[in-house]
């Protein structure tokens, strides 16, 4: 993590199928348009757009923003030019953007459109942003409740960041109260299957656009309900800067623990490799039985199972490397990480109060 990661403003990412109102939602919060915003019933946002504070209104291409040292987007260069051409930064002076940065995303594809392959690793990019973001808003509308294969992949790429997810049932004034009850039930059922968490997700119901609530469709209860829900969500978003400091430390600790476990796993795999002959066979055997190697590491060092990475993903990444070339385990370095987590971080937190309060 670089200084720019710590200095960056809290980020809110919006995810959802096309035309669920992601761009309109940002416009609704800003109460104005932003540079490069396109809105329409077809998939109009075809790129990742970071909406952030700036001295004047302008859009900056992805290649430029990714190499700026004072921006927290250097890591995106690993996704290559195909992605960076689909990434841009929209800057404008705005009081809300002085505290929060928004990430607008291309609509997740559904049905036949999923067959068209994207030119970059879409779920990899959403996963990268999810780690950096403070809140992830999943937007649905009553007419697009089906969770497509690509949307499933995107939601599973948010693994480890479930506490950041909020669900918004947008455009809810387009159906009457009875339909809304059915839609809400169907959405909760679909999410339960995909998210695999025992907790029930908080779903905000509303109509986040520039128009007043459509009272003819929702009836008198609906208008009051929508306004309360919208206030709740806005209050949730206003809390983000206050909690940003704690979340940064939390993310840093999470990364440090992940790095420590990674070092243990790599050390174990290196130890199992033969000194001379049969290295290729040994590597394949280790990859095939990776779950067992994880279990050995867990038992030997008394580590919690929940801290280990996803086995299948680790297998895929490992296949591209030669285990024989890995470094041996360095206990002193792991001890330094343990000391930092046990002493340095708590001492640091004692010295600083929350600057946003």
- Cα dihedral 177, 183, 189, 191 sign: negative
Query: Are the beta carbons of 141 and 171 closer than 8 angstroms?
Result: yes
Indicate left, alpha or beta for 36 from its phi (over 0: left) and psi (-120 to 50: alpha). left
In this prediction, residue 204 carries a pLDDT of 87
Model's pTM, two decimal places? 0.72
Question: Is beta strand 135-140 parallel, antiparallel or unpaired with respect to 165-169?
Answer: parallel
H-helix or E-strand containing 128?
helix 122-132
d(CA 217, CA 211): 14
- 17, two tokens: 């199928």
Q: What angle do CA 337, 352, 160 make, to 5 degrees?
A: 50
In this prediction, residue 356 carries a pLDDT of 47
d(CA 166, CA 245): 20
How would DSSP label each residue in 38-62? ---SS----SEEEEEE-SS-EEEEH
Q: What are phi and psi of 189, to 5 degrees?
A: -65, -45
Beta strands in 83-160 (DSSP E): 87-92, 101-104, 135-140
How deeply is 134 buried, as exposed, middle or buried, from its count of CB atoms within 10 A (0-12, 13-18, 19+)? Answer: buried
CA 121, distance to chain mean position in Å, is 14
Q: Which domains does the chain have, with CATH numbers?
A: 3-211 (3.40.50.300), 255-351 (1.10.268.20)
Buried b / exposed e across 196-219, counting CB within 10 Å, b at 16+? Answer: eeeeeeebbbbbbbeeebbeebbe
- Cα dihedral 60, 66, 68, 72 sign: positive
User: Edge-to-edge strand order for the sheet containing 203-205?
Assistant: 58-61, 87-92, 48-53, 101-104, 11-16, 135-140, 165-169, 203-205
pLDDT tens, N- to C-terminus, the chain (357 residues) = 555 556 678 889 999 887 788 888 888 888 888 887 766 655 555 789 999 988 888 999 988 988 887 788 888 999 988 899 999 999 999 988 888 899 998 888 765 555 556 788 888 899 899 988 888 999 888 887 778 788 888 888 887 788 888 888 888 777 777 888 888 888 888 888 787 766 777 788 877 776 666 655 555 556 677 778 878 888 888 777 777 677 777 778 888 888 889 999 998 888 888 877 888 888 888 888 899 999 999 998 888 888 888 888 888 888 888 888 888 888 888 888 888 888 888 887 777 655 544
d(CA 52, CA 310): 33
The angle, 0 to 180 degrees and rounded to 10, between the axes of the packed helices 122-132 and 149-156 is 40
In this prediction, residue 69 carries a pLDDT of 77
- 200, two tokens: 């029930």
How deeply is 155 buried, as exposed, middle or buried, from its count of CB atoms within 10 A (0-12, 13-18, 19+)? Answer: buried
């Amino acid at each position: 993590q670089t200084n720019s990661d710590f200095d960056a403003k809290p980020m809110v990412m919006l995810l959802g199928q096309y035309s669920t109102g992601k761009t309109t939602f940002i416009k609704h919060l800003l109460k104005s348009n932003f540079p490069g915003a396109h809105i329409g019933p077809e998939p109009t946002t075809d790129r990742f757009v970071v909406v952030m504070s700036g001295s004047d209104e302008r859009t900056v291409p992805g290649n430029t923003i990714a190499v700026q040292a004072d921006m927290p987007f250097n890591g995106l260069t690993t996704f290559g030019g195909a992605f960076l051409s689909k990434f841009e930064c929209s800057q404008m002076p705005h009081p809300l953007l002085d505290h929060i940065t928004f990430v607008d995303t291309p609509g997740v594809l559904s049905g036949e459109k999923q067959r068209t392959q994207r030119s970059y690793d879409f779920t990899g990019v959403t996963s990268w942003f999810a780690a950096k973001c403070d809140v992830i808003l999943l937007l649905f509308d009553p007419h697009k409740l089906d969770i497509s294969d690509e949307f499933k992949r995107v939601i599973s790429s948010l693994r480890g960041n479930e506490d950041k997810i909020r669900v918004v049932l947008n455009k809810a004034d387009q159906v009457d109260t009875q339909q809304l009850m059915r839609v809400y039930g169907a959405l909760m059922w679909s999410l339960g299957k995909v998210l695999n968490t025992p907790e029930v997700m908080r779903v905000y119901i509303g109509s986040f656009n520039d128009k007043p609530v459509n009272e003819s469709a929702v009836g008198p209860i609906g208008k009051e309900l929508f306004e309360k829900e919208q206030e709740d969500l806005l209050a949730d978003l206003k809390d983000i800067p206050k909690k940003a400091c704690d979340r940064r430390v939390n993310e840093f600790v999470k990364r440090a623990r992940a790095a420590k476990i990674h070092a243990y796993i790599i050390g174990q795999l290196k130890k199992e490799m033969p000194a001379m002959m049969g290295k290729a066979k040994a590597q394949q055997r280790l990859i095939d039985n990776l779950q067992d190697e994880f279990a050995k590491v867990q038992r030997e060092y008394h580590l919690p199972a929940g801290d280990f990475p996803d086995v299948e993903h680790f297998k895929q990444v490992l296949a591209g490397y030669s285990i024989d070339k890995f470094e041996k385990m360095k206990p002193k370095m792991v001890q330094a990480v343990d000391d930092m987590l046990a002493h340095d971080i708590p001492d640091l937190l004692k010295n600083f109060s929350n600057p946003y309060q």
